[in-house]
Structure 1
């Protein structure tokens, strides 16, 4: 037959990328299993059995598709993330600072219904009191800090991982058909 057409290469490229993507999910799961064991965390299968879960688009956008999929499918990765979240201490000053800098996020429902512009110096009555939103802010900041800790852990944990050819990260620029999308 003749030379391979450009269109014939696309399925092979897609399969290589899928293999690389799936490899990353398995590697994250295995690294998380090891770390859970080191930390004395409950056996991951007892936390939540591995099964197909829907991955919210916001997680894909915020975490990247590989980490989002690993967290969705790996009980060990979720257990580790939860443990990292418990370790995060958010100082009261950070919570208060977040509230003060993001007043637009704390308009009352009534102010929203009236169409109050959060950037046009809303009245104090149009902003939810700090005491009412403090716990939610602290949890949001703790969650964000845990995700950063998870990424730090992952960078360190896979630093020594050696991938077989064809199983590298799909965004690794050292292979010719790398892709890096979020």
Structure 2
């Protein structure tokens, strides 16, 4: 007997069909966590071992649950995500996003306009103190060497670098503040997601891929 819902979110069913649709995304889209979709997709996905298929379904369930939770959060906040893209044209995953966010959240970010909208809103809410921006500049001066200083191999933490070898603070302040605000927004997003997942109950076969209660579990994100 086929389970009609992949999960219950605060008691409301999340249809299995949504997970199935995501799983049917052609290879090269977010459905297989690829980082490019520029090449033609093969006609069908290669045969998978049963354990791999089970884990991929659990992974996909997490992506769709994240999408649904973000949709509800956007509605609560009065945010209006843009229309969804078709599965065949799903946004590409950046390798840096997979490394920074984990494959589940990175895929949700690529797949879901609601996730992108919510993350942008959380980033916009962050306030970065001037002291934090200045501290970042002072502690990471290797990132602010001028092109000439880089060519000469100047050491920003030693005696070989002069003040003129560094980009002025005022010239890079906005970029630093933007980067710190982005990092704070992502931290806020993870805090929101951890709390929101507390109301989710998964159906058999749709548990988290890292759930140790099933034999195929592996702790990856």
The aligned residue for residue 35 of structure 1 is 73
Alignment of 1:102 onto 2:137: no
1:151 corresponds, among 172, 190, 194, to: 190
1:112 equivalenced with 2:112 (yes/no): no
Paired residues, number: 171
What TM-score do the two structures reach when normalised by structure 1? 0.89
Distance in 1 (CA, whole Å) between partners of 2:123 and 2:176 is 14
Greater strand proportion: 2
Give, in angstroms, the shift of residue 159 of structure 1.
0.9
Alpha-carbon offset, residue 56 of structure 1: 1.1
d(CA) in 1 for partners of 2:219 and 2:157? 36
1:63 equivalent to 2:68? Answer no
Q: SS where residue 41 of structure 1 aligns?
A: coil
**Which residue of 16, 26, 31 maps to 2:64?**
26
> Could you tell me how far 1:41 is from its partner in structure 2?
0.3
Query: In the aligned structure 1, how far is the partner of 2:71 from the partner of 2:181?
Result: 23
Compute the TM-score of the two structures, normalised by the length of structure 2: 0.74
Name the counterpart of 2:206.
167
Q: For 2:178, which of 134, 139, 143 is the aligned residue?
A: 139
For 1:81 and 1:45, the matched residues in 2 are separated by 14
Instruction: Give the Å deviation of 1:177.
Output: 1.1
Question: Which structure 1 segments of 5+ residues have no match?
Answer: 1-9
**Structure whose residues are more often helix by fraction:** 1
Return the match for 1:45 from 82, 100, 119: 82
User: CA-atom RMSD, angstroms?
Assistant: 1.4
